[in-house]
Amino acid sequence: MSSPAAELHQMAAVGRLLAGIVHEINTPLGSIFSNNEVMLRSLDMIGPLLAEGTPEALARAGKLVATCQSLGAVDRIACERIRAVIRGLKTLSRVDGAEPRRVDLNLHLMDTLKLAQAEFRGRIAVETDLGELPEVECYPQMLNQVFLNLLVNAGQAIEGEGRIAVRTRLEGDTVHISIADSGRGMTPEAQARAFEPGFTTKPVGEGTGLGLPISREIVEEKHCGSIDFESRPGAGTTFHIRIPVQQKRSAP
């Protein structure tokens, strides 16, 4: 999809995540730099201790080596965290070709979820229940945008701590993706206008009112699928996306 509204909305969605993404990267980077200083000081001490060669010196050198190993393991976790954020950004920014392609939709969903978690800042527990799926023929970058829209909306609907549950299942020749949140839910009036372009219940500056209309266009018009939801005020919202495993071909 290349409409100006869709491109502007995607830019706005990514822009809202940038502060969280910077935090997600800076935190593990700070840990790596701090650990690196400790490891360098430890290595400087190990040489003289080994040269001294006394049992006490060797024992102390062994403890310093163990410390370095422990910090190295922590740094590995920090690097994996940074890589997960970068992978999510790369997935989101990838441009789809003219034709759909077969992808592991669970993998794309998880990559987008890792990116969205920068928005959640640890206040939201995410539960995943991903079923075994065949490769799905689709425009993955477009669906990544849908997933990001719904996940960010879910996070913003939760005040304080809460929960988001992501589930995938194969239903015949269709993949069913559900994203449920424990947020404030929608009133009947808001539900009736949810897919209306420009409508938003978010404060000024937080919502464009384009996320759901664009998501419906991507799912229904680009993928011949369906998107709907169920919601109750105070009891959260669940969105259901259904995408055919194989796209229909136009008759020649």
Confidence of residue 204 (pLDDT cuts 50, 70, 90): very low
Report whether 147 contacts 223 (CB < 8 A). no
Report whether 223 contacts 246 (CB < 8 A). no
At residue 76, the pLDDT reads: 83
pLDDT over 70 percentage in the chain: 77
pLDDT digits (tens, 9 = 90+) for 155-171: 888 988 999 999 999 99
Average pLDDT for 179-201: 84
| Cα-based angle 49, 32, 90 (whole degrees, multiple of 5) | 150
Coil, strand or helix at 29: helix
Q: How many domains does the chain have?
A: 1
pLDDT digits (tens, 9 = 90+) for 89-119: 665 555 556 678 899 999 989 888 877 776 6
pLDDT tops 70 at residue 215: yes
Q: How far apart are CA 18 and CA 23, in angstroms?
A: 9
pLDDT digits (tens, 9 = 90+) for 34-91: 889 999 999 999 999 999 999 999 999 999 999 999 888 888 877 877 776 776 666 5
At residue 229, the pLDDT reads: 93
Confidence of residue 31 (pLDDT cuts 50, 70, 90): confident
pLDDT tops 50 at residue 207: no
Please report, for the domain that includes residue 187, its CATH number.
3.30.565.10
Confidence of residue 2 (pLDDT cuts 50, 70, 90): very low
- Residue ranges making up the domain that contains 215: 1-252
